[in-house]
Amino acid sequence: MLLCEVTINAVLNRVSNEYIGSLTHPWHRRILQFGPITYGIYRSYGGFMKFDTGSISFTPELFENDWPPPLSCPLTVKYTSTTEEAAETILTANLHIEEITREQVVYGLYRTAYADVLPDATAFTAASQIDTLALVFGACCTILGIDLDITLARNPSPAVEYTTSGEQLIVDFLDGIAAGYTHMAYIDIAGTTLYLIDMLDKDNGSRTLTEYEYLGVENVSNPVRYYWDPPIGIAKAGDFSAVSSYTYGTEESVTAYHDTQANIETALADIITVANRARAELPIPFAGDVPDPAEKITFPDTSNVADLSTYIRTRTLTYDFDNEEVIIDGDGVISK
């Protein structure tokens, strides 16, 4: 059950895409359409997890005491398959108005951004004593005012020797350097802790799904999809490179966050390893207990010409409220 809290002129409104009267509070049907929300990394080999949000349309009745509708208001999106108290918060966002018609009021969703800026010529070097990936993230988290969890980061942490050029948002810098060292990073929904996770081999928990759990349920609209991105044939950073066995593959250019050839080429080889893995897109019913980022998902598939057994690590989650499913996307291993 989709539960949305919309605060309009200091009044909390509990709304959904259906009327729900069986919970602690009634949740009125005021949502006409809620576009999918995607939360994930945007490079196959790493980076900072970000929300890609669309729009939400409400019935005009939601605003009958606040007409015309406000330009903006806060939104909290939750989901539960049991009780209101057990609802899992998926997203907090700001709504900004897009359109009013007689049939609907449409708002765009916007996440609150971290506006902290990294100054020009910030040195992450041996001389500055901030010369590993973990130390770089630690220094940036101090500026952001949040904690850092490196339990699942690479150990020992990759060496860094890099000085920034020009001002940039801290989260954009962290996105680039995490990807450069094949890590993914995300901030928890409470906004208090940043998690840094090695994409080479770290599992943020694990679970095994039975075939019924993802294929045999009526409200799963599409079966599992297996796919491969175009292979990277060569990864380059300045004058240095690493090559794969796919000589016909594409070229990937990245930033070098070190000045030593061996360190740079190791990072480039890791990028090739992660980017060239098999991938799968797995829809599951929206029934609570959504996988965590980097969680290992193992699942069988006996619906092909021969059986498959696959695992992926969660890199992207797409919440499809209209179809009541969550689509898990990640890299892993496809085997018999």
CATH number for the domain including 138?
A: 3.55.50.10
Non-local (6+) Cβ contacts of 158 within 8 A are: 132, 133, 181, 263, 267
144 and 66 fall within a common domain: no
Percent of the chain at pLDDT above 70? 96
Q: Taking residues 151-159, what's their average pLDDT?
A: 98
Domain boundary among 110, 137, 152: 110
Quick check: 217 pLDDT over 70? no
CB contact burial 50-89 (16+ within 10 A = b; e otherwise): beebeebbbbbebbeeeeebeeebebbbbbbeeebeebee
Report the C-alpha gap between 247 and 5 in whole angstroms: 52
Asked if residue 156 and residue 258 are part of one domain, the reply reads: no
Nearest alpha-carbon partner for 186 in 279, 82, 294: 294
Are 208 and 329 contained in the same domain?
A: yes
In a shared domain, residues 208 and 322: yes
Among 110, 136, 171, residue at a domain's last position: 110
Residues 243 and 143 in one domain: no
In the sheet that holds 250-253, the strands lie side by side as: 240-243, 232-237, 250-253
Count of structural domains, the chain: 4
**By the 8 A CB rule, do 317 and 290 touch?**
yes
Q: What gap in Å lies between CA 298 and CA 209, rounded to an integer?
A: 6
- Residue 311: what pLDDT? 93
| Domain co-membership, 283 together with 270 | no
pLDDT of residue 219: 47
Task: Give the Cα separation of 15 and 31 in Å (integer).
Answer: 7
Containing domain of residue 238, as a range? 230-275
Instruction: Count how many Cα atoms sit within 13 Å of the Cα of residue 56 in the half-sphere of its side chain.
Output: 28
233 in Cβ contact with 250 (< 8 Å): yes
Same domain (yes/no): 15, 72: yes
Q: Are residues 186 and 88 in the same domain?
A: no
Q: Could you say which DSSP state residue 127 is in? A: T
283 with 263, same domain: the answer is no
Quickly list DSSP for 265-329: HHHHHHHHHHHTSEEEEEEEE--S-PPPTT-EEEEEE-SSSS-EEEEEEEEEEEEETTTTEEEEE
Residue where one domain finishes, among candidates 92, 110, 128: 110
Place of tokens 């175009």: 230
Tell me which residue has tokens 């406000």: 70
Q: What is the tens place of the pLDDT at every residue in 167-191?
A: 999 999 999 999 999 999 999 988 8
What pTM value is reported for the model?
Answer: 0.91
- Coil, strand or helix at 93: strand
Whether 194 and 321 share a structural domain: no
Lowest model confidence (mean pLDDT) among 158-172, 173-187, 255-269, 280-294: 280-294
Contact 199, 276 (CB under 8 A): no
H or E element at residue 5: strand 2-8
What confidence score (pLDDT) does residue 329 get? 96
What pLDDT sits at residue 215? 54
pLDDT for 288: 62
The total of other beta-carbon atoms located within 10 Å of residue 301's CB is 19
Q: What is the mean pLDDT of the chain?
A: 92
* 127 and 178 assigned to the same domain: yes
> What whole-number distance in Å separates Cα of residue 330 and Cα of residue 313?
5
Helix (H, G, I), strand (E, B) or coil at 37: strand
Clarify whether residues 159 and 210 are in a common domain.
no
Say how far apart CA 252 and CA 236 lie, in whole Å. 6
Q: Is the pLDDT of residue 8 over 80?
A: yes
Q: Which residues of 142-156 are buried (b: 16+ CB within 10 A; e: fewer)?
A: eebebebebebbbee
Answer whether the bond into residue 156 is a cis peptide, omega within 30°: yes
